Amino acid sequence: MSDVIQIYDSTLRDGAQAEGISFSVEDKIMIAQQLDDLGVHYIEGGWPNPTNPKDLEFFKRALDLEFKNAKISAFGSTRRANNPPEDDATLTTLLKAGTKVTCIFGKTWTLHVTDALRITLDENLQIIEDSCAWLKENGREVVYDAEHFFDGYKADPAYATNTLLAAQEGGAEILVLCDTNGGTLPTEVRDIITAIQPKLQTPLGIHTHNDAGMAVANSIIAVELGAIQVQGTFNGYGERCGNANLCSVIPNIELKLEKKAIGAENLTKLMKVSRFLSEVANVYHDHRQAYVGESAFAHKGGVHIDAMMKQPATYEHCDATTVGNERRYLLSEQSGGATMAAKLDHIIPGLDKRHPTAQKLLQKIKELEHEGHVFEAAEASFELLARRTLGTIREPFKLINYRTFNHRSTRSSAVEAIVKIEIDGTIYHTAGDGDGPVNALDAALRQGLEQVYPSLKGVHLEDYKVRVLSSAAGTAAKVRVLIETSDTKHTWSTVGVSENIIEASWIALVDSFTYKLMIDGLITTENKTV
């Protein structure tokens, strides 16, 4: 392990403290299994105490599971001032969690010792040493988190260092320096770590928060200076501005510092795990995240794309596939023939950017963009447009008609939709209820399509956006609808434009289902050659 940078994940505890995020016990079990499969070394399951039945249940269930890479860690604090370790409720509950690893935090900053704990500085040192020693005596691997270390060091360097020495004397396996307020700069991290290292024999770890936007940078600086463990969360979830984002930390360690964390093979799973976390947390996946965001390797400018086609290193700092991502070329009014050729390469391999097919589609795209479509945000709709133009796809159904009806009462309003479609000569006449016309149309259309295409049952809406394109036209204004859809393995976006918001939504909805059937290989034909 000494040659490997340990990844200590705190998503299940620190991450769950983020505004708008709450994990059930079942969620936490699923996340832990995903992180173990990714090769994470430590998974902090939470803070087990009698007032937190969810975390107690997690540890109970985790004991019955087999983890091939990760050790489960229980989190808590040092003992209370007036309690011997064996009588302290926090420490004894940590033991009852049954984990091989415990992580406890202690006070480093004199301000917290004198004003929050209201004890003497020497008493605090004894508390830290006693707590670590007692857990060690009871067979636990002890990770010591030095809370507010950098602020504490800036206030009183000697005392902050003495708190680490107390934990070291107590037998802690690793001393983790915490930037709890998240306001320390990388230069400060460098100077402070450099100053304390000669005084310690125990390895260092790093735990940073992102309140100044420096959490990842501070983590990497610490690793460069010899820290062997990085604590953080996936997608950077955490209280206030979040924690160090392991989705950035891990590839930076592997690809930039050329040190091993989870290994190159596991690194290719990174984007999948990042998206999985967003799915379980029920929050929007940040498209602009480094490495694992959908926009991380997306190119829009025609000059950029032309250069990328010749040499990817011109506008990419690493290979997208190393982290499980993919290169994307975005279409817009700025696009040129090179963009179109790149986008069509998997349909028509080797297509020259000057070929009439590329130019025809490019012109069509620009006309539709002028009307209000945005294909850079709806690549699934572009793929369908291209395949329809080239004749490499068949439509999964033929629309006969649809209608929506509003039902209002004094207490509620609901919408009913009726859809009539034809699939391979058979008529499907279905109805559905919803909170609005689009929801109702979705329900009615699914009832017909799922009878023939059952894989659509696994498709669900991720996001729905409406934008008015010409407000001067009042209620007759043209609107653009963007729908983002997922089947847990893939996520795609479609667009519809019309003066009628229901019609625009219908267009985007139909494209969404059609794209799913296309990627499942149910409605595609042979690729073209030119």
Residue 2 has pLDDT above 60, yes or no: no
Give residue 366's pLDDT. Answer: 74
Annotated domain spans of the chain: 6-281, 298-369
Give residue 298's pLDDT. Answer: 83
CA dihedral (233, 238, 243, 249) positive or negative? positive
Residues 193-214 pLDDT 10s: 999 999 999 999 999 999 999 9
Mean pLDDT of 77-96: 94
Give residue 301's pLDDT. Answer: 67
In sequence order, the β-bridge partners of residue 48 are none
Lowest mean pLDDT among 131-135, 233-237, 308-312, 504-508: 308-312
Q: What are phi and psi of 199, to 5 degrees?
A: -95, -5
* Contact call for residues 176 and 141 (beta carbons, < 8 A): no
Give residue 412's pLDDT. Answer: 56
User: How are beta strands 479-486 and 491-498 bridged, if at all?
Assistant: antiparallel
Task: Output the CA–CA distances (angstroms, integers) from residue 344 to 160, 238, 267, 311, 496, in the order listed.
Answer: 60, 41, 28, 18, 21
Give residue 418's pLDDT. Answer: 95
Q: What residue has token string 């999964």?
A: 396
Give residue 175's pLDDT. Answer: 98
The highest-confidence range among 242-246, 315-319, 353-357, 371-375, by mean pLDDT, is 242-246
Residues 146-180 pLDDT 10s: 999 999 999 999 999 999 999 999 999 999 999 99
Mean pLDDT of 362-382: 79
Q: What is the pTM of this model?
A: 0.74
From the list 231, 409, 236, 377, the residue with the least C-alpha distance to 298 is 377
The three-state secondary structure class of 400 is: strand
* Contact call for residues 344 and 353 (beta carbons, < 8 A): no
Residue 331 has pLDDT above 50, yes or no: yes
Mean pLDDT of 229-234: 98
Say which residues have a Cβ less than 8 Å from residue 462's Cβ, sequence separation at least 6. 284, 484, 485, 486, 491
Give residue 488's pLDDT. Answer: 78
Give residue 279's pLDDT. Answer: 85
Residue 101 has pLDDT above 80, yes or no: yes
| Mean pLDDT rounded to a whole number for the chain | 90
Mean pLDDT of 519-530: 71
More confident residue, 377 or 293: 293
User: How are beta strands 204-208 and 229-232 bridged, if at all?
Assistant: parallel
Give residue 43's pLDDT. Answer: 98
From the list 515, 507, 517, 530, the residue with the least C-alpha distance to 361 is 530
Helix pair angle (270-281, 25-38), 10° resolution: 170
Residues 453-499 pLDDT 10s: 999 999 988 888 888 876 555 555 788 999 999 987 888 999 999 98
Rounded Cα–Cα distance for residues 292 and 97 (Å): 34
Rounded Cα–Cα distance for residues 350 and 339 (Å): 13
Distance of CA 128 to the CA centre of its chain: 35
Residue 76 has pLDDT above 70, yes or no: yes
Rounded Cα–Cα distance for residues 97 and 139 (Å): 13
Residue 335 has pLDDT above 80, yes or no: no
Q: What residue has token string 């909170």?
A: 435
Helix, strand, coil share (%) of the chain residues, nearest 5? 45, 20, 35
Mean pLDDT of 8-15: 97
Lowest mean pLDDT among 66-75, 114-123, 330-339, 510-519: 330-339
Which DSSP category does 7 fall into? E
Mean pLDDT of 127-143: 98
Lowest mean pLDDT among 418-422, 432-436, 507-511: 432-436
Rounded Cα–Cα distance for residues 128 and 145 (Å): 10
Q: What are phi and psi of 16, to 5 degrees?
A: -70, -10
Give the model's confidence band at 284: pLDDT under 50 very low, under 70 low, under 90 confident, else very high. confident
Assign a CATH topology to domain 6-281. TIM Barrel (3.20.20)
